[in-house]
Amino acid sequence: MAIDLRSDTVTQPSAAMREAIAKASVGDDVYGEDPTLNELQREVAELLGKEAALFVPSGTMSNQLAIMAQTERGDEVVIGERAHCAWFESGAAAALSGVQFATAGRGGLFDAATLEEAIKPTSYYLPRTSLVSVENTHNASGGRVFPLTDVQAIAETARGRGLKLHLDGARLWNASVASGLSLAELAAPADSVSVCFSKGLGAPVGSALVGSKALIERARRLRKMLGGGMRQAGILAAGALHALRNNRARLVDDHRHARFFAETVAGAPGVTLDLESVQTNIVLFQVQGSADALCRRAADQGVLLSAMGARSVRAVTHLDVSFDEVKNAAGLVADLLRQEPA
């Protein structure tokens, strides 16, 4: 069987998770009557220190609901470089909300001073900046943790300019474990937070948008508009609840495995890899040749990786790969690069 390091979304539900799903108490969530889903929403809101939460099928939907609920058509949203909501969500913000993006900083992370530079002056002929979005951890920069002090300063600047702050926390679980800060501490500066149960935690499906009661009520209507209102969704919520309660603490293992993979591959010929960037469960490295070619060669040997650009390769550790498997995968990739640098 292949060692799959393409993403932490490839995990299979455990036997205990399948049992929880099979035994879930359910009701019609369009009427607000699914007890398991209601329990999940209460629990995730409490963990993040917010008033309410809304379960949605995907992280894309939770991010887009946050944008729809906090902007008007023609507005501009300030993001970090290669933010998920701009790069990997099929142009949804333009199609659904009619907004455009302005990029602040380089490498995905930015600070309050950089935000100030990105905010448009007020004029009828300029787009109105209305929302700022930060991503923690930042996928395209290799799973870096967005420093809380920077997020706090960004929030202060945003509020001083009348802007809302959205936190794309698809992997906020990893940021919490890596930083030693609670989920509530990391979420506190933001008006809205998106979290994903299928990234890192191993749930088969589902994300949540978290924020004030007023925001979540607006998002609930928008979710219905997008076809996201579900009936007996407790079957899905049970998997997410099991993941939330049982799989957060073990993320430290994924981080340790990613670090080992990075240190092994970093010494191979033709590899550029900033070890300081390996802070969580994602390893992003550059090769001199073709990333696609390296991924094909690795796949032929039973190791699955992702090409993230012409010369950029990503490996993601997760609960379905053991340390021995990561060790074998890292050794194989390093050997391939020594035989014929990509």
pLDDT digits over 251-288, tens only? 999 999 999 999 999 999 999 999 999 999 999 999 99
Looking at the structure, tell me whether residues 316 and 256 fall in a common domain.
yes
Residues 163 and 225 in one domain: yes
**Phi, psi values for residue 301, rounded to 5°:** -100, 10
Tokens of 48: 């993040």
Cα end-to-end distance, the chain, whole Å: 24
* pTM beyond 0.95: yes
Which of 218, 246, 274 is the last residue before a domain boundary?
A: 246
CA 199 → CA 82, 122, 224, 277, 316, distances in Å? Answer: 18, 39, 24, 19, 10
Residue 267 to residue 87: CA distance in whole angstroms: 30
Q: How confident is the model at residue 1 (pLDDT cuts 50, 70, 90)?
A: confident
Domain for residue 89, yes or no?
yes
Q: What is the mean pLDDT of residues 176-186?
A: 99
Give the domain CATH number at 308.
3.90.1150.10
Please check whether residue 4 lies inside any domain of the structure: no
Looking at the fold, whether 90 and 160 belong to one and the same domain comes out as: yes
| pLDDT-above-70 percentage for the chain | 99
Same domain, 230 and 255: no
Quote the percentage of the chain above a pLDDT of 90: 99
> pLDDT digit string (tens) for 60-95?
999 999 999 999 999 999 999 999 999 999 999 999
> Within its chain, how far is the Cα of 38 from the centroid?
23
Q: Which domain holds residue 320?
A: 250-339
Phi, psi of 101 (to 5 degrees): -110, 145
Q: Are residues 310 and 219 in the same domain?
A: no
Domain presence at residue 3 = no
- CATH number, domain containing residue 197: 3.40.640.10
Query: E strand or H helix at 102, and its extent?
Result: strand 100-104
Three-state SS at 250: coil
Last residue of a domain, one of 246, 274, 309: 246
Q: How far apart are CA 152 and CA 148, in angstroms?
A: 6
**Within-domain flag for 323:** yes
The count of structural domains within the chain is: 2
7 inside domain: no
User: Which helix H or strand E contains 316, and what residues bound it?
Assistant: strand 312-316
Give the model confidence (pLDDT) of 30-43 as tens digits. Answer: 999 999 999 999 99
